[in-house]
Structure 1
């Protein structure tokens, strides 16, 4: 079998740990039963020999598979890692979702997306990343009693993601340590109101209002200080027709949303200015992970 899981962008400005979306950049895993277990990796992490032993996918897969069938088995696993590590594009969520879903499939169980999503909470407690990885689209999500509850809106083909991926990673845990332990009432009210408004903009496809809706006061500017070039990314994006421009997850990637006719121009401007950064245009993913017969 083959599984494809999309990259995700979480927070989206004011929607801290609550809002996220999926883009058409996929990690791909091929799995087949074998006499001996083996691992092959291409793309991200291919030069890291230890990943073949200390691999999050394999540990989660084996744990879930054994839980389902009360035994272990040997598999050949071939990883095509296209989602960058530690860049705020949901690489760990993609690994966890693909491991759980493929364990269910290889154990002969129906792969129910709601089951996969709630199993993923054991390993990743950020619903803004795991939910769009499972279901695609734009997601507003909460967790109550260890269950993810969410609202999904499909994203129009009229818009694109122009993604700026710096050559420097940002560790999520370290990035959270930068943030204060308490916030002012003004900061909290700003983010509650803007996150609510941002969600309605996606749900009603009022994309022209995204710039206003995406203003954050809790985390973005504080995190961007670690990589000051990101302030210029946002400035240039807004000068070149970006509908919104925000830190992707905890960074270092920056997500810019534009109408599709403006995407190439924005990519060109950003590529010319930030030659050490990778700039890509992606469609949005409205489906979430896909299981295929390989």
Structure 2
């Protein structure tokens, strides 16, 4: 079986643990039955590889046999940068557990199992379905809704040269939040999805504003790279619609396609250490390219 799974950006500012966007940057996984588990072409420990770990957990959750397999990965999604690398690996592991046991890749089973392993569905759902998604884990099932972003929107994806721990980023968020902060985010979420669907970029700087997670995570990221902090401040001063991708450190600026080249060139000049990609929303989620 060969899978192609897109990168994802979770949260999108105000949509903390709820919104996710699939992007046209992909990991490919080739999964073949084998006499024992094996990783082809990479010098990494199987015991710590997320695909094998997700397979193990999926088999425990679903009561399946841990059928050994050979894995080959062509990875374009950077790890520990807030672009859904772990979600892609978890989906590959869940698909391996099901397929090697002769089970179909049913949407509900895949999403519920992968979300249980990941801990939340905001990256898992768009990586599986594509496009922009809103999702909810009710405790018994995953409810989700798919929205097609405007086709002329592109996403300038600014990837710093350092990693950022998702666990550390989550631990920075306070257990208790203010009522007005919750209202601030809730009042923006539906308006944000509509603006992305319609391509109303003039509204995005205000709608992407967040009170629940970014203001707690950004100080930690600024400590890792002063130039990154200056870039963020510059974008806010210019009125650019910027948000942290997932827990960071990657940040994303959604703009109309005709504006992207000039803005990308300016950003490259300001922070040359970063990798800047011009991505589009991926309308297709996880694809089975070969069985």
After TM superposition, the score normalised by the length of structure 1 is 0.88
Q: Output one character per residue of 1:45-72: Cα deviation in whole Å (capped at 9) or x when no partner.
A: x56x33x332121132245458779544
Deviation at 1:236, TM superposition (A): 4.2
Question: 2:282 maps to which residue?
Answer: 285
Between the aligned partners of 2:265 and 2:210, the Cα distance in structure 1 is: 27
Between the aligned partners of 2:112 and 2:61, the Cα distance in structure 1 is: 15
Question: 1:254 maps to which residue?
Answer: 251
1:156-235 matches, within 5 Å, as 156-228=150-222, 229-235=227-233
Q: Output one character per residue of 1:238-276: Cα deviation in whole Å (capped at 9) or x when no partner.
A: 67784x210111110001111111222222111121121
Between the aligned partners of 1:189 and 1:68, the Cα distance in structure 2 is: 38
| Segment drifting more, 112-121 vs 226-235 | 226-235
Q: Output one character per residue of 1:127-159: Cα deviation in whole Å (capped at 9) or x when no partner.
A: 211111111111111111331111111123201
Aligned 8 A contact 2:164 2:221 in 1: no
| Segment drifting more, 250-259 vs 194-203 | 194-203
CA change 1:176–1:208 in 2 (3 A) is same
Aligned 8 A contact 1:5 1:290 in 2: yes
Between the aligned partners of 2:108 and 2:149, the Cα distance in structure 1 is: 20
* Secondary structure of residue in 2 paired with 1:119: helix
Aligned 8 A contact 2:58 2:94 in 1: yes
CA change 1:71–1:123 in 2 (3 A) is closer
CA change 1:259–1:107 in 2 (3 A) is same
Between the aligned partners of 2:147 and 2:76, the Cα distance in structure 1 is: 25
CA change 1:16–1:69 in 2 (3 A) is closer
Deviation at 1:75, TM superposition (A): 2.3
Question: 2:145 maps to which residue?
Answer: 151
Question: 1:24 maps to which residue?
Answer: 24
CA change 1:71–1:214 in 2 (3 A) is closer
CA change 1:149–1:66 in 2 (3 A) is closer
* Secondary structure of residue in 1 paired with 2:104: coil
| Segment drifting more, 162-171 vs 201-210 | 201-210
Between the aligned partners of 1:85 and 1:102, the Cα distance in structure 2 is: 21
Between the aligned partners of 1:73 and 1:288, the Cα distance in structure 2 is: 25
- Within the candidate set 76, 81, 87, 1:87 is matched to 81
| Segment drifting more, 202-211 vs 140-149 | 202-211
Between the aligned partners of 1:218 and 1:37, the Cα distance in structure 2 is: 41
Between the aligned partners of 1:28 and 1:192, the Cα distance in structure 2 is: 36
CA change 1:237–1:57 in 2 (3 A) is same
After TM superposition, the score normalised by the length of structure 2 is 0.89
The alignment of Structure 1 onto Structure 2 pairs a total of residues equal to 287
| Segment drifting more, 20-29 vs 102-111 | 102-111
* Secondary structure of residue in 1 paired with 2:133: strand
- Within the candidate set 65, 83, 100, 2:94 is matched to 100
